[in-house]
Amino acid sequence: MSHNTKSGFTLKELFVVIGLIALLLAVLLPMLNQSRTPARRSLCMNNQKQMNIAVKNYYSRSSSNTRPSVITPASRTAQVQYSIKNGHSNYFNWVVPLLYDLDEGHLDARYRQSFLEESINPISVLDGESLPLMICSSDPPKNNQGNPMSYFVNSGIRNSYSIVNNESITIDLAANGLWSDKSNLSNQSGVRVQGIPDGESNTILLSERLRSDQHPDFPARWNRVDLNPKNNYFPVESQSSILWEESPVPGTVVINNKTKSPITNTLISSNHPGGANVSFCDGSSRFLSEKINAQVFARLMTSDGRRSRLDTNGDSDFKEEANLPWQNKPLNPNDF
């Protein structure tokens, strides 16, 4: 007599197995995400170190010992005049002069060749190019946004401008930051590398900002800086820079400030829990806490705090403003 028995899981046993799998996933997934967090932070820090090296290589091979400029709103070169005349409301961003030093020689050659073609806007030949080095892995682009950028340079405070003969003239104080806006666009020669009296280890070179904290009408793109038609066609500095003029107010959150509007946000932000990565002029990169004192942050942004000034009376110059006493306080590692 034969017995026809069936082997396999009962419905009850199947539910038990599914429950165990769900329990394991609930335990393991947070651990996996936690392990990814330091890896992403480390990758972001490495990106910044590579950019720091590129900046040093740029001005070390420059015959005039120059630093690349961040944007060039005051330039009067023929190429800029061509761009304005033909309705191209943008200028180069700080990354473009560094393409060769970032091992992007083919893009550097393409951009330089475009200057020989009068019918081509040199900036447009770089549109749609994505540079992995310019993207923080903790804040990847969610669509096919052209030329996405996560990193911004220390440009001190928001520029003042005046209009002279229908041209915008930049009023910039070198002591307030590190990167200048004044350079000759056509041959990419920037201002001379200024001294850093506050010390290279105490002066920020660049840092990061989340995509969600970028201007919705002018998202950051590594190849260009737009001119805002609603503001006399002045450059949109948030596309290129981190700025500090709002930070001296006691209690201001300067890293991961959730109350700032993306339209006006020029501070630092990241998806790294508790703070953000920052690269300094001496080549070092550090993780700064989001609890950093606002005035300490401002002192890290200035290249010469003793000469730093704000345009407090709104006359678009710094002739009558006094120096900021708290900028004279020496920094020590415990401050940040």
pLDDT tens digit at each of 336 positions of the chain: 555 555 666 777 777 778 888 877 777 666 655 556 888 999 999 999 999 999 888 877 765 555 555 554 333 343 343 344 444 545 788 888 889 999 999 998 888 787 677 666 777 888 899 999 999 999 998 776 789 999 999 988 877 666 555 555 566 677 788 876 543 322 333 434 446 888 889 999 999 999 999 988 889 999 888 878 787 777 788 898 899 876 677 788 999 998 888 888 889 999 999 999 999 989 999 999 999 999 999 999 988 888 888 877 766 667 667 788 888 888 887 787
143: tokens are 């669509």
Q: Which of 306, 301, 231 is nearest to 264 (CA)?
A: 231
- The letter for the amino acid at 81 is Q
- In angstroms, the first-to-last Cα distance of the chain is 85
C-alpha separations of 102 from 121, 226, 242, 303 in Å: 22, 23, 21, 25
On whether the pTM is more than 0.85, the answer is no
In a domain, 201, yes or no: yes
- pLDDT value at residue 125: 85
| Phi/psi at 57 (5° precision) | -65, -40
The distance of Cα 33 from the centroid of its chain, to the nearest Å, equals 26
In a domain, 211, yes or no: yes
Count: domains in the chain: 1
Q: Which residues contact residue 306 at a Cβ distance below 8 angstroms, ignoring those fewer than 6 apart?
A: 175, 197, 323, 327, 328
- pLDDT value at residue 73: 35
Q: Which of 267, 242, 261, 240 is nearest to 149 (CA)?
A: 240
Q: 42: burial class by Cβ within 10 Å (0-12, 13-18, 19+)?
A: middle
In a domain, 20, yes or no: no
- pLDDT value at residue 67: 53
In a domain, 44, yes or no: yes
Burial letters 290-306, b for 16+ CB under 10 A, else e: bebbbbbbbbbbbbbbe
**CB 275, CB 145: distance < 8 Å:** no
In a domain, 26, yes or no: no
DSSP letter at 66 equals B
Helix (H, G, I), strand (E, B) or coil at 252: coil
Range of the domain at 71: 37-331
In a domain, 17, yes or no: no
**CB 267, CB 301: distance < 8 Å:** no
**CB 134, CB 219: distance < 8 Å:** no
What pairing do the DSSP bridges indicate for beta strands 167-171 and 241-242? Answer: unpaired
Length reported for the chain: 336
User: For residues 178 and 153, what is the distance between their CA atoms, to the nearest angstrom?
Assistant: 8
User: For residues 314 and 70, what is the distance between their CA atoms, to the nearest angstrom?
Assistant: 24
- pLDDT value at residue 231: 75
**CB 170, CB 182: distance < 8 Å:** yes
What pairing do the DSSP bridges indicate for beta strands 204-208 and 275-280? Answer: antiparallel
What pairing do the DSSP bridges indicate for beta strands 167-171 and 275-280? Answer: unpaired
